[in-house]
Amino acid sequence: MKVKAQAVQERKPAAEVPKTGADLFVEALQAAGVDTIFGYPGGAVLPIYDALYRAEPRFQHILTRHEQGAIHAAEGYARVSGKPGVVIATSGPGATNLITGIADAMMDSLPLVVFTGQVGRSVIGTDAFQESDVMGITTPITKHNYQVQKQEDMPRIIKEAFYIATTGRPGPVVIDIPKDISGEVYQTAAAEEPIHLPGYQPTMKPNNNQIKKLIHAISTAKRPILLTGAGILHAKASEEVQAFAKRFQLPVASTLLGLGAFPASEPQFLGMAGMHGTYAANRGLYECDLLINVGARFDDRLTGNLEHFAPQATIAHIDIDPAEIGKIIPTSIPVVADAKAALKQLLTVEAELPDTESWRNHLQDYKEEYPLWYNNPAQDLIPQWVMKAVHKATEGNAIITTDVGQHQMWTAQYYGFDRPNRWVTSGGLGTMGFGFPAAIGAQLASPDSRVISVVGDGGFQMTMQELSVLQERKLPVKVLIVNNQSLGMVRQWQEFFYQERYSESLLDIQPDFVKLADSYDIKGVRLETQEQLVAELPSLLQSDEPVVIDCRVLRQENVFPMIAPGKGLHEMIGVSR
């Protein structure tokens, strides 16, 4: 029997209630152009939720079933729309439930504005009921944070927060609002203040001398390579980066988060680099004499052992965050700028073109000789093959979100992203539980796109309660569980580096995901053979309804190729069969 909600409660007409601080909050959100909010109510945000109830026009408020769901949904929303994700949670446990998502957004530079309720000002610091030190806890994982101390400061703070979250290198901003501030009637209309942040002036335009230096380096390079990072996506510079790569005939390698910035189907594209990158991309980075990094931060999963990272190369790095330049690798051509502005400049400056033909051919040989590979027995579902089938069924046009683990790497390797902002994954923090709620946010950001959430059977179980949101909102998200009945990536490392001692990584007992979906009144399907998948997957993915697809893949499949921890780019294992 399906449990249907009781008749939806009618909306009470907004009685003539005096305006409170929470109405100031609502007005500030409206002024910031917010229409969608992800959140969860509680004591300290009751005034805010009351103001939301009365607000006209209404916000689209998505009530996730856990605050972690709300914040990951906001991240997915931000990644796809480029707009800030807005989150509300109550004080204490509501706020602490957001922490993983805030840290995730900080690592992956996603613009979020997060509101947490706080206990009333008179009891802050007394260990009051549901008090937690949100400022203390969130300081190291936010671009900036505020606690509103006076009601009249709220409009200014909210305006600043949106500005800070979305400009420069994007990131999460937390605003902690004591309950009395949002609850008290407000007297004075706050004066409209322009944003005044003298300590915050992101550099957008590149320095001309550095651009000249870079152009000279490119012109004289024999083995140049372009590394594309997510900074390009934030700067909406995908077209420029393509034109740049074409102009100078540069081979291109991508970071995990940069996928989609440069089309995977272009011949110049070598693939993703790093721990599970392609042989060609990693050799490219290893052998190059000029590395042009645009908007990537030389994460250790990309570089491997630094001693062997681009050992012969001159390093050029374009980044909007000066602190990223030289943080990991000494950089001889630093360009602090917005990627779009810098690339535009690089496109217009006169330059001699380098002769890269033999270098490109050399890399092309690697590409042909050492492509990604997997064994494909006739019957079983092989995860890599499944990802290719998903690509085929969606013509590479879907928005894909993933969780963290093997399925994430297979998706990155095999989906082949040709367009920007359609790839949503947790890179820096590597957060299991991210993928499914992120898909909810992605679908809301792009209602007409097909959104597929590729998740592991482990990670899905961390946030699967958000199936409620699919049911309630009729969001046509497709959840594709790459079910290997294990914490696959952990199992793989235990196989390789711990002599197959599978400590706590095999999930022998699992819920029946089809029945689980059914209990939410969502269609659930189990796919077990290639034949079945070929027959059913396309129509399942086409459907206008949400679907949960439990894809029973081979349990012992591993992600290859791989750079073992501590090894260099040139020490890949599992390069070929």
Partner 1 sequence: MKRIITATVQNRSGVLNRITGLMQKRQFNIDSISVGKTEVEQISRMTFVVEVEDMQKLEQLTKQLHKQIDVLKVADITDHAIVARELALVKVVCPPASRNELQSIIAPFRASAVDISKDSMIVQVTGDSDKIEAFLELVRPYGIKELTRTGVTAFLRGHQPQAADGNTYSLITN
Q: How far is the C-alpha of 509 from the C-alpha of 155, rounded, in Å?
A: 51
- By beta carbon distance, the residue nearest ligand TPP is 456
HSE of 543, CA atoms in CB hemisphere, 13 A: 21
Are residues 224 and 290 in contact, defined by beta-carbon separation less than 8 angstroms? Answer: yes
* 204 classed as catalytic: no
Please name every residue paired with 87 in a beta bridge, in sequence order, or none if there are none. 38, 114
Task: Give the active site residue among 60, 129, 149, 205.
Answer: 129
Among 407, 422, 478, 552, binds ligand TPP (CB under 6 A): 407
Among 51, 164, 230, 232, binds partner 1 (CB under 8 A): 164
* 25 classed as catalytic: no
Task: Give the active site residue among 19, 30, 59, 130.
Answer: 130
CB of 274 to ligand TPP, least distance (A): 15
CB of 574 to ligand TPP, least distance (A): 16
Q: State the first-to-last Cα distance of the chain, in angstroms, to the nearest integer.
A: 50
Q: How far is the C-alpha of 398 from the C-alpha of 198, rounded, in Å?
A: 42
3-state helix, strand, coil in the chain (%, to 5): 40, 15, 45
Contacted by 197, from ligand TPP, partner 1, none: CB < 5 to 8 Å by type: partner 1
Is residue 210 part of the contact set for partner 1 (CB under 8 A)? no
Site string for partner 1, 112-151 (x = CB under 8 A): -----------------------xx--xx--xxx-x-x--
User: Which sign does the torsion angle of CA 357, 362, 364, 368 carry?
Assistant: positive
- CA 161 to chain centroid, in Å, comes to 20
Query: Which token pair is 246?
Result: 């074409």
* 408 classed as catalytic: no
Site string for ligand TPP, 435-474 (x = CB under 6 A): ---------------------xxxx---------------
- Residues 292-351 within binding reach of partner 1 (CB under 8 A): 321-323, 326-327, 330
CB of 138 to partner 1, least distance (A): 10
Q: How far is the C-alpha of 435 from the C-alpha of 453, rounded, in Å?
A: 6
Query: Which token pair is 368?
Result: 């042909």
Count, residues in the chain: 577
- Residues 170-209 within binding reach of partner 1 (CB under 8 A): 197-200
CB of 302 to ligand TPP, least distance (A): 17
Is residue 426 part of the contact set for partner 1 (CB under 8 A)? no
Q: Which residues contact 352 (CB under 8 A, 6 or more apart)?
A: 219
* 130 classed as catalytic: yes
Q: How far is the C-alpha of 417 from the C-alpha of 400, rounded, in Å?
A: 9
Reading phi first (left if > 0) and then psi (alpha if -120 to 50, else beta), residue 313 is in beta
Instruction: Give residues in contact with partner 1 (CB under 8 A).
Output: 135-136, 139-140, 143-145, 147, 149, 164, 197-200, 321-323, 326-327, 330
Q: Which residues are catalytic?
A: 67, 129-130, 179, 489
Instruction: Give residues in contact with ligand TPP (CB under 6 A).
Output: 403-407, 430-433, 456-459, 482, 484, 486-490
